[in-house]
Structures are given as C-alpha cells and as structure tokens.
Amino acid sequence: MVLKKDDIIELDIEKIVYGGEGLGYYNDEFAIFVPMSVPGDRVKIKIISVKKSYARGIITEIIRPSSERKNDGLISFEEFEGCDFGMMNYGAQLKYKQLMVKEVIERIGKNKKVEIEEILESPIIENYRNKIVEPFSFQNGKIITGFFKRKTHDVFEVENNILNSKLGNGIIKRLKELLNQDGVSVYDEKKHKGILRHIMIKTNSYNQAMVVLIINAIEVPEKIRKILLNLKESIVEIISIYVSLNPKKTNVAIGDKNQLIFGEKTIKERVGKIEFNISPTSFFQINTSQIERLYSQAINMFDNIEEKNIVDAYSGTGTLAMLLSDRANKVYSIEIVKSAIEDGKKTAKENQIENIEFICGDVTKEIEKLMKKESVDSIIFDPPRKGIDEKTLIEISKTGIKEIVYISCNPSTFARDVQILEKLGYRLERVKPVDMFPQTSHIEVIGRLTKIGG
C-alpha cells in the first residue's frame, strides 16, 4: 500500500528524534514522524503529509500506551497546553533529551568520541517560567491569549499554563477580563490593524511581576493606560508596568519603544550572592530554579579559573559574567543590547563588583579590539538559538584563546559550531546536557573545548 494524505494507519513508535517527534516505520521500512508520541506507543494516526522518503502523521487514538506515557487520555499538542513533551513522565523526558543531544553531536557535529555526561534535571518541572509571552487573538466574540498551534499562527487558549508562573497566569487571566470589558481591538497581522499584539509577564522569586503590554501603536492610548492601572489595583504583586509600542509589520513581539506606565524600571532576581536587575528587553534564563545550577556547571569547566581573564560573549544582563567574577581574576562582558549592558552595570555597582568590564557592541568586533590591548585566557559563549556565525569563530581561533566554554539552548547549532571549531584546531572535551525546559523537547547543553597543543 502506498501512503497518501488522510490515510489512517496503525503504527508502533520506536524512538524519539531530535526535535521531539516520535518515529515509527510503516511496513518496517517507510519512516513516519508523529508528534506527541512516545517510544512503546502503538497508535492510530492520520497521515498529514507524504514526502519521497518519509511521512508525518498525527495521533487519532492510542491503541496501547507506552509505559513512559502519562495515563491521562490526552493526545494532542493543544490538550497538553503547548508542551510537546507533556505526555511523558519526567524520567522519560530526561532520558530522551540526553539521547537527542547524543544524536545531534554525532550526526551534525560528526563526533562519536566525546562522552555525553548525565543530564542535570530541573528541581521544578511545572510553573517554572519567569517569563512568558502570549499572542492575543479574537475568537468567538472574546479576546483570548495562548499559544500558536503547531506550524501555524492560529492561537489556541490555555486556561492554566503549566509552564508559566502561577502569578503570571493570574495576571493574564485578570487582564483578559479587563480587556474584554472595554472591548479593545486585537491586532490582525494580515490587515495590520488592531491594537493588542502580545502580553509579556516577567516574575521573580520574590513573587513580584513586571507586565509588558505590546500594542500596535505609536503612543499609548488613554484607554490602555487606565486598563493597566486598574490591573495594578487588582493584583498587588505587580511592581512594574510597561507598554511596548510596536507599529511595525513584523513577527518580533516587543517594540523599539517601551514606555513605563507604573512602578519600577526593573524587577530584581537573586542568583547566588548577586541580585540582578531585569528590564523588558534584557535576556535572563527563564527557569530561575535552574539558573545557578546551569552556570555552576559551566564555571566549573574552566581550569584554574582564579588565575584567568575571561570574556563572557553574548552576555545579556551579565548574569554569568558576575557569577564568574566571584572566582575569575577579570571578566569582560560583551553584549550588543544597550539596555542589557545598563542593567548589568547597575547590578555590578549595587553588588560592589569591581573586576568586571562591560562592553557594548558586536562580539566579533569587540573581541578583536579587546585582544589587541588586553590579555585574555578563556572565553565563554551563551549565544541566541541561531548560534555563532562562522566568521566570529574563525576570528576567535586566530586570537589563540586556549579554552572555550559554550552554553547553548540549541544543540543542533552547538554541534555545527563545535565542528567548525574542531576544524580550526580545538578539541571537544566535555558535553553536559541541562534541563532548563521541562515538559518541552528543548534542552540546554554546555561544552568545553581546548586548543590542541595549547
């Protein structure tokens, strides 16, 4: 039988592949990828696309559940509130994340020699996100927020987001009540009309919140201002409210201009001994319970750290740089986002940290300038998901830096970049997966590389 779209078949799921989808073989030879499936499942699926060498299907019925599947009768991405690993027990999530890292290091990184160390589990596996961004939509006569359905820009509503902090969930629920009472228009990306685009909530371990309402406008309408001040009166934990003005035709959520409506310019978060300032645009790891554990793993990968001058590239608010400063001789924090650098300087001053220098600019250019005037022993990367461009890696290799620690939220770009570095004379010595994102297929990874002959 030749498969075609909309066919219904039964399939045994054999493994999880990188990206989080289950894989089974039709007639023992034709690969079929099935999201929300678990190895050991026997499922009935509907074929949604067919290519020359593989197909994709969605589950319509679980005939025999895997022993690693949660016994709750749910099957779809929407039923699991946008959590593509939400159908597995946590032990299974960890097992398959570790295997995915191994697969991608071997397949993309072309490295079968390095040992993948045991994954570091998260101490909290639900309601752990200190930041959430949800798009607005108008459905069935009311304003909703939620997640995009897979492969679309169609929003589905989640009543109780199991990833978001409980405080964040409560704020979003109350905000939607107020917006529906006043009938504010929702942005239509096709027509480029309407006001409400996204809601961002940042929370901290002190149970405080920053609210950032992202709208399609060039100034803050008085109606929006009144709604947000009303929201503040309803929820006393809100200590900061911004409106982000984003009138552009873009998929980027936050705008270029962020106007403070109420309260503090930043919220604070403590990691180890240090209290950090977090603004609407600054990057901060989203799983507060795991931040210190992640960075401790990375810092401990350096040899003789007390004697070293270290560059923290893609530094964000300087979280890692300031934790490094407690043990390293000198730290240079490089970040292109000006507001993040300002947050970092403020934090360093408040915490009386003096052996750190903040540099605002492009990593490639700033490292080159820095190396001409200062002695740098090691570098640590924590780049965006897209990884590091080859030109930057080449320039860094030319500096002769002997030790690199690389933190990545995207194992595939990590593996790609590591392969480039290995061709440039570095050796990958350690790989440590860290689970920053329970209930999802996303995984953080830390690697250590040294210059061969260095």
Whether residues 295 and 412 share a domain: the answer is yes
In the chain, the N- to C-terminal Cα span, in Å, equals 59
What backbone torsions phi and psi does residue 316 show, to the nearest 5 degrees? 60, -135
Q: Which two tokens stand for residue 433?
A: 């997966």
| Strand boundaries in 370-441, DSSP class E | 378-381, 403-408, 426-434
How far apart (Å, rounded) are the C-alpha atoms in residues 264 and 322? 23
Are 250 and 139 in the same domain?
A: yes
* One domain, residues 189 and 258: yes
3-state SS, residue 172: helix
Q: What is the pLDDT of residues 262-290, one digit of tens each?
A: 999 999 999 988 998 888 988 888 999 99
Pair (399, 260) in one structural domain? no
Question: How high is the pLDDT of residue 206?
Answer: 96
Q: Give the separation between CA 336 and CA 281, rounded to whole angstroms.
A: 12
| Tokens encoding 359 | 């540099």
What CATH number is attached to the domain comprising 171? 2.40.50.1070
Mean pLDDT of 117-127: 97
SS3 assignment, position 419 = helix
Domain count for the chain: 3
CA-nearest of 437, 296, 438, 440 to 380 is 296
Pairwise CA distance, residues 432 & 119, whole Å: 6
CA gap 274, 33 in Å, rounded: 45
Which pLDDT value is given to residue 317?
83
Amino acid at 269: E
How far apart are alpha carbons 56 and 60 in whole angstroms? 13
Give the domain range for residue 235.
131-265
Question: DSSP characters for 124-157?
Answer: --SS-BSEEEEEEEEETTEEEEEEEPTTS--EEE
Catalytic residue selected from 213, 215, 334, 409 = 409
Whole-model pTM above 0.85?
yes
Q: Of the candidates 215, 244, 265, which is a domain's last residue? A: 265
Q: Is residue 85 part of a domain?
A: no
Tokens describing residue 148: 């995009």
User: In the chain, what percentage of residues exceed pLDDT 70?
Assistant: 100
Residues 224 and 276 in one domain: no
Band the pLDDT of 143: cuts 50, 70, 90.
very high
State yes or no: is 409 an active-site residue. yes
pLDDT tens for 353-367 read: 999 999 999 988 898
**What's the CATH code of the domain at 54?**
2.40.50.140
Contact, 87 vs 77, CB < 8 A?
no
Q: Is residue 1 part of a domain?
A: no
pLDDT category at 98 given cuts 50, 70, 90 is very high
Alpha-carbon gap, residue 38 to 65, rounded angstroms: 8
Q: Give yes or no for residue 454 having a pLDDT over 70.
A: no
pLDDT digits (tens, 9 = 90+) for 309-362: 999 999 988 989 999 999 999 999 999 988 889 888 988 999 999 999 999 999
Query: What strand order describes the sheet that includes 378-381?
Result: 356-360, 330-335, 309-313, 378-381, 403-408, 444-451, 426-434
Domain end marker among 265, 287, 314: 265
